[in-house]
A and B are shown apart, each in its own frame.
Chain A
Amino acid sequence: MDVSQYLEIFLDETNEHLQNLNTQILELEQDPENSDTVNEIFRAAHSLKGMAGTMGYKRMQNLTHDMENVFFFFFNGNIKVQPEMIDVLFQCLDALQEYTDNIKNTADEGTNDNEPLIRQLNDILNNKGATSEAAAPAQAAPAAEKAEESSSDEPWYDINYDESQISVLSEAAKQGRKVYGINVTVDPSCVLKAARAFLVVKAIEEKGELIVSNPNSQDLEDEKFENDFTLIVISEESLENLIAAAKSVSEISDAVGKELDVTKLHSAEAEGEAEEAPAAQTTAPAASEAPKAAPAAAPAQGAAPAKAADKKPGKVAVKQTVRVDIEKLDSLMNLVSELITAKNSLVSASSSSEGNNSSFNEQIEYLESVTSNLHESVMKVRMVPIESTVNKFPRMIRDLQKQLGKKLDFYMSGEETELDRTVVDQIGDPIMHLLRNSADHGIESAEIRAQRGKPEAGSIWLDAYQDGNNVIIEVRDDGNGIDIEAVRAKGIERGVITPEQAAAMSDKEVINLLFTAGFSTAKKVTDVSGRGVGLDVVKSMIESLSGEVEVKSELGVGSTWTIRLPLTLAIIQALMVVVGGEKYAISLGSIQTIETIEKSDIKLVQNEEVINLRGTVIPLIRLNEVIGTESHPIDENSLIAVIVKKGDKMAGLVIDELIGQQEIVIKPLGKYVKHVKFITGATILGDGEVALIFDANTLL
């Protein structure tokens, strides 16, 4: 079987399962008695094993198989979860991750059999003294259920049909067409039952009209069935042909069928009344509920109901998704950009042409709202929650605890915060650096914490939230904080700064030294961090994503690292302004208000112009000085200031004239123009003219 085309899906799903296992095993460590968690783990391990087996990765399959055995004993309560078992399981997950990475890089799982791990797993089982029997009951039990379940000889009469299905079937019967019931049994060893079922359904549909399937097609697709399923078909073909078609699919162990007597089919409501008359009366008004509940009750023979009830609690509602190549989204995004540029040209043409009529303007407004919505939708398609990236951190912190011998509590919030897919993929490493940094350098040893009257376990927080057009990710700890004097001394020692410079530097400037290359204040180099590559890498990685990183710290109390990332990268709402006769754009996201300021209200503080805006003192930045032109204000006695904000810093950008708000497409200036710090790019205006975009953040 050629499986290469499934490789990508396999990798994606394997990673999801591994992530899920990591999370669940962490939970299990906290709450060993939780049967839902064990259930979930068991299920994930089982899927993983099945997938690895189908793809032909035997080593991976063996390892997951042995893990599954252990989980089975957790599951039935024969083994109590012990901390050292959790360690072994995590090592197994790491080994599985290694297989997965190998497969990703070379399409081969590699040659590591991980025998020591398998031995450890077997030891867990042996200590229980029941290894060989372990597999037996595990398989015997489901087998028994299966046997019972297929006990009914004519399953097609057990289905609860709804009214419309009955009417279709009886109509067909009246017209003399044949209605068949076919029961298909899938080989119990089959791994991809859903795929087999799908092939059977397809084969049957070629021969006739499929009216009903039990379980329904969605459940078949989701593999929510045991080993058999029933199809009701209207067909011109003979029953033998249909059965042969079903049997032609591999791994189908049996298919039986019969021409049905339509009058013997019963509807769900009839069933309800027949079997539980008293109950049916009370639920009669809620008839619409009945068909849903009934199918579950109908095949309710033997162990089936218990099984169904078991499955429910762990079931998470999964949204339907489509995996799309990111390049396709990029090209879609480019087209949207073009559309917006074209729309802007229309807007500017309409405002300049004389005698424009109102219907033309209406159409343009309509176009404007359509393009905005389209843009928003395309942006949203690219947005994914940061969850997939941050979910690995609880596990990492747990490992760090053991490595560092510190007790750590880790709290996360805002995992659902969404960011552009490309950003989410790349933000993991910088966050990991910061977390390791907090765990290693930030949190003090237990003795020092005790002296300082802090709780023994250090706390690390990872919070993500949206703030205007930015997403903020904060890494916070209640550790030692940054020792500014130590940094200063280190800077001199490393020759990064001279003693004179050091004395003149503000605390903030000193802290910024941490982000320079090759700077590490750790007194001893540990495995975790302190190799001097870290913070400078963090900074450059974040800057490559058009983001920023800041740190606030109080000695002895803790530090907060703040990563600020732009929500969107390509199309923004901007305020168009004129400075010195030139047009510029300022991103609306950073703008607070626009103020008209009387010249007499400008005060000088330390030779800097400031204004007092409703009680806040805000410095003024004359944009014409920044860009080196003359200012041509409209009114000699007053100034127009655009108040911008970054974090808790604010400033008033003085401009000559306001043009208005516009949606703009950010285009890069090219590699040739690289040293203009306060310009983030350019945009093409409706009339084809190019306007540069101010980066308010760098001006603050």
Chain B
Amino acid sequence: MDQLSTNNNLNLPEDGDETKIVDVTFQYIVIRLGEEQYGIDISYVNNIVRMQRITRIPKVAPYLKGVINLRGEILPVVSLRLKMGLDEDVFDKATRIIILKTENEGQIGIIVDEVKEVVTLSEKSIEKVSHDNKGEKANFLSGVGKNNGELISILDLNMISLEDN
């Protein structure tokens, strides 16, 4: 999956003319959870692996599914579904674990139903969502992007961070 980890393209203007509008694009990995599609900022993604055996950790929050062995390193795995208040995961052939790198907590795996594609969205096409009172699910989103007429909810990866498990 190394070919996915390209950097975001910053299309900076040629000269230092600050009045020009700078168009910044981001790449997102589109994943499926149930019927809905979400985008994950590719710069946080280290790796995508197939579902594998997870060792349960006793006495922790249910969404912390356990730990896996990724090439000799032990990484925690979080169920995105449970974290977002959806039904328990059903593992099938399409299930993947996306390995994210976080600043403070090292690498963390998140379980998704399916990985679909990589899209490039310009900053302009992403609408920010405010986090006040839009219901529980909105709290997991940092914005909504439009891609070829389809809406993609952009996941706010901070929500994976530990509350108390």
- Can you list, as one digit per residue, whether each of A98-121 has a CB less than 8 Å from chain B (1) or not (0)? 000000000000000000000000
**Of A338, A341, A684, A692, which one neighbours B57 at CB under 8 angstroms?**
A692
Residues of chain B with a CB closer than 8 A to A674's CB:
162
A628 touches B58 (CB 8 A): yes
Give the distance in Å from the alpha carbon of A688 to the alpha carbon of B72 in the complex.
8
- Can you list, as one digit per residue, whether each of B101-130 has a CB less than 8 Å from chain A (1) or not (0)? 000111110000000000000000000000
Chain A residue nearest in CB terms to B77: A672
Identify the stretch in B11-19, B20-28, B60-68 within 8 Å (CB) of chain A at 4 or more residues: B60-68
Give the distance in Å from the alpha carbon of A670 to the alpha carbon of B95 in the complex.
24
**Of A628, A671, A675, A682, which one neighbours B67 at CB under 8 angstroms?**
A682
CB distance from A692 to the nearest CB of B (A): 7
- In the complex, whether B76 has a CB less than 8 A from a CB of chain A is yes
Which A643-684 residues have C-beta < 8 A from chain B? 667-676, 679, 682, 684
Given contacts A670-B105, A672-B105, A673-B64, contact A690 B74 (CB under 8 A): yes
Residues of chain B with a CB closer than 8 A to A679's CB:
57-58
Give the distance in Å from the alpha carbon of A692 to the alpha carbon of B73 in the complex.
13
Which A229-265 residues have C-beta < 8 A from chain B? none
B74 touches A675 (CB 8 A): no
A673 touches B55 (CB 8 A): no
- In the complex, whether B53 has a CB less than 8 A from a CB of chain A is yes
Chain A residue nearest in CB terms to B58: A627
Give the distance in Å from the alpha carbon of A682 to the alpha carbon of B75 in the complex.
10
Residues of chain A with a CB closer than 8 A to B67's CB:
669-670, 673, 682, 690, 692
A673 touches B58 (CB 8 A): no
B59 touches A628 (CB 8 A): yes
Give the distance in Å from the alpha carbon of A676 to the alpha carbon of B61 in the complex.
11
Chain B residue nearest in CB terms to A668: B74
Chain B residue nearest in CB terms to A342: B72
A690 touches B64 (CB 8 A): no
CB distance from A391 to the nearest CB of B (A): 39
- In the complex, whether B146 has a CB less than 8 A from a CB of chain A is no
**Of B58, B68, B73, B164, which one neighbours A676 at CB under 8 angstroms?**
B58
Given contacts A688-B69, A690-B69, contact A671 B58 (CB under 8 A): no
Give the distance in Å from the alpha carbon of A676 to the alpha carbon of B60 in the complex.
7
Give the distance in Å from the alpha carbon of A462 to the alpha carbon of B110 in the complex.
51
Give the distance in Å from the alpha carbon of A523 to the alpha carbon of B64 in the complex.
49
**Of B55, B59, B104, B165, which one neighbours A682 at CB under 8 angstroms?**
B55
Which B105-160 residues have C-beta < 8 A from chain A? 105-108
**Of A626, A670, A675, A684, which one neighbours B69 at CB under 8 angstroms?**
A684
Give the distance in Å from the alpha carbon of A675 to the alpha carbon of B66 in the complex.
13
Give the distance in Å from the alpha carbon of A463 to the alpha carbon of B162 in the complex.
43
Give the distance in Å from the alpha carbon of A341 to the alpha carbon of B106 in the complex.
22
Give the distance in Å from the alpha carbon of A627 to the alpha carbon of B75 in the complex.
20
A676 touches B57 (CB 8 A): yes
**Of A338, A673, A689, which one neighbours B53 at CB under 8 angstroms?**
A689
- In the complex, whether A629 has a CB less than 8 A from a CB of chain B is yes
Given contacts A675-B165, A688-B69, A690-B69, contact A669 B76 (CB under 8 A): yes
CB distance from B66 to the nearest CB of A (A): 8
- In the complex, whether B50 has a CB less than 8 A from a CB of chain A is no
Give the distance in Å from the alpha carbon of A341 to the alpha carbon of B69 in the complex.
12
CB distance from B53 to the nearest CB of A (A): 6
B74 touches A629 (CB 8 A): no
B106 touches A672 (CB 8 A): yes
Give the interface residue-count category, chain B. Answer: 20 to 34
Give the distance in Å from the alpha carbon of A635 to the alpha carbon of B75 in the complex.
35
- Can you list, as one digit per residue, whether each of A549-587 has a CB less than 8 Å from chain B (1) or not (0)? 000000000000000000000000000000000100000
CB distance from A447 to the nearest CB of B (A): 53
Residues of chain A with a CB closer than 8 A to B162's CB:
672, 674
Chain B residue nearest in CB terms to A667: B74
CB distance from B67 to the nearest CB of A (A): 5
- Can you list, as one digit per residue, whether each of B31-71 has a CB less than 8 Å from chain A (1) or not (0)? 00000000000000000000001011111100010111100
Chain A residue nearest in CB terms to B102: A672
Residues of chain B with a CB closer than 8 A to A628's CB:
58-59
Residues of chain B with a CB closer than 8 A to A671's CB:
104-106
- In the complex, whether A691 has a CB less than 8 A from a CB of chain B is yes
CB distance from A654 to the nearest CB of B (A): 15
A675 touches B76 (CB 8 A): no
Chain B residue nearest in CB terms to A623: B58
Residues of chain B with a CB closer than 8 A to A691's CB:
55
Give the distance in Å from the alpha carbon of A675 to the alpha carbon of B72 in the complex.
23
CB distance from A544 to the nearest CB of B (A): 19
- Can you list, as one digit per residue, whether each of B76-100 has a CB less than 8 Å from chain A (1) or not (0)? 1000000000000000000000000
Chain A residue nearest in CB terms to B162: A672
Chain A residue nearest in CB terms to B54: A690
Most buried by B among A628, A670, A673, A674: A673
Chain B residue nearest in CB terms to A691: B55
Give the distance in Å from the alpha carbon of A84 to the alpha carbon of B58 in the complex.
64
Given contacts A691-B55, A692-B55, contact A673 B72 (CB under 8 A): no
Residues of chain B with a CB closer than 8 A to A675's CB:
60, 164-165
B55 touches A669 (CB 8 A): no
Residues of chain A with a CB closer than 8 A to B75's CB:
670
Given contacts A682-B67, A689-B69, A690-B67, contact A669 B53 (CB under 8 A): no
Residues of chain B with a CB closer than 8 A to A689's CB:
53, 55, 69
Give the distance in Å from the alpha carbon of A674 to the alpha carbon of B57 in the complex.
11
Chain A residue nearest in CB terms to B165: A675
Given contacts A669-B76, A690-B74, contact A582 B105 (CB under 8 A): no
CB distance from B48 to the nearest CB of A (A): 19
Which A126-155 residues have C-beta < 8 A from chain B? none
Residues of chain A with a CB closer than 8 A to B76's CB:
669-670, 672-673
B106 touches A684 (CB 8 A): no
Give the distance in Å from the alpha carbon of A673 to the alpha carbon of B60 in the complex.
8
Give the distance in Å from the alpha carbon of A518 to the alpha carbon of B160 in the complex.
35
Residues of chain B with a CB closer than 8 A to A582's CB:
55-56
CB distance from A101 to the nearest CB of B (A): 34
Residues of chain B with a CB closer than 8 A to A627's CB:
58-59
Residues of chain B with a CB closer than 8 A to A692's CB:
55, 57-58, 67
Chain A residue nearest in CB terms to B66: A690
Chain A residue nearest in CB terms to B107: A670
| Given contact pairs A627-B58, A629-B58, a sample of 14 additional A-B residue pairs in the complex whose CB atoms are under 8 Å apart | A669-B57, A670-B75, A670-B108, A671-B104, A673-B67, A675-B164, A676-B57, A682-B74, A684-B69, A684-B72, A688-B69, A690-B55, A692-B58, A692-B67
Can you identify 29 A-B contacts, CB atoms within 8 angstroms? Answer: A338-B72, A341-B72, A582-B56, A626-B58, A627-B59, A667-B74, A669-B67, A670-B67, A670-B74, A670-B76, A670-B105, A670-B107, A670-B108, A672-B105, A672-B106, A672-B162, A673-B64, A673-B67, A675-B60, A675-B164, A675-B165, A676-B59, A676-B60, A679-B58, A688-B69, A689-B53, A690-B67, A691-B55, A692-B58
Nearest 6 interchain pairs by C-beta:
A627-B58, A690-B55, A672-B76, A672-B105, A671-B105, A667-B74
Which residues does B use to contact A, with CB under 8 Å?
A: 53, 55-60, 64, 66-69, 72-76, 104-108, 162, 164-165
